[in-house]
Chain A
């Protein structure tokens, strides 16, 4: 049985600090080149297929902008 995950980032509240990216064990997360309304780049799923929904990114996110979803397949 494998785990398949996905994250949703509240991009307007994300400050693009990159701590989620550095903590992602599957290198799912990247930091955008575009910026949000506050001028910050933001986290996104650069490699969505790799996400296992482990929640590490959301656990370390200082701004609590990441929601994690996970299914068993």
Chain B
């Protein structure tokens, strides 16, 4: 069978989500942000909620998330996205409101905002990208940087006595009464990406049912700052991050 006979509109089984814009992403080749953006776009499209969704982008590499998902966006000050989301959801209860935050934004400078938004049980979705490093500023230590991990500010590896311990913030969040769904996922292969998409979908559905805060951590790579190829970075993540940040649901009620 000729390829031309296969490549016909009626045979299309997968393509770019219509909720994604045509802008070329500024992310480095192989960056997980793009994959997670795509999964969110697909969920918004499949739920038919493009006109009801408001995204809140952080400070960090994904500050420009608004260039890629064709919805209304607010760009927050560093760490404050959950505060924006709180007011947005309370003032516009018919909307789906989600924050998209990296580990520096959510687990370092924005710790108070995320803990309290989750503890109040705001009916929002939190997408938490954990790649154990600061991306945009050039690879400095994040709160989630692993012990021994080399970064621009831990050039000899993170040491507990000097730099403290990596923060399992998702485990903390799972303890809070206000959260209804807390899960840790990844996107390094098709199976994991499909699971993450299901988790994101469940989180959005929870928010419509006013069940409380849904929190989806996605363990991701930052191959540029890890100084690995995209494929090697995925391997490093599986070998080093998953043992410390084990995947799976921590809470689902």
Q: Which residues of A contact B (CB under 8 A)?
A: 4-6, 8, 13, 15-19, 21-23, 38, 40, 45, 48, 53-71, 73
Contact = CB atoms under 8 A, between A and B. Distances in A.
A59 B193 contact: yes
16 contacts: A4-B1, A8-B7, A17-B29, A17-B231, A19-B30, A19-B230, A38-B24, A48-B3, A56-B190, A61-B34, A62-B38, A63-B24, A63-B27, A63-B34, A70-B11, A73-B1
B162 interface: no
Contacts, number: 101
A22 B230 CA distance: 10
B29 A15 contact: yes
Contact of B34 (A57, A64, A67): A64
A17 B30 contact: yes
A51 to B, nearest CB: 8
A17 B15 CA distance: 18
Contact of B231 (A22, A53, A54): A22
Contacts of A18: 30, 229-231
B137 to A, nearest CB: 21
Given A60-B187, A63-B25, A70-B6, 18 more contacts: A5-B6, A17-B231, A18-B230, A19-B231, A53-B6, A57-B190, A59-B193, A61-B38, A62-B25, A62-B33, A64-B16, A64-B34, A65-B16, A69-B8, A69-B13, A70-B13, A71-B6, A73-B1
A69 B12 contact: yes
Nearest to A59: B190
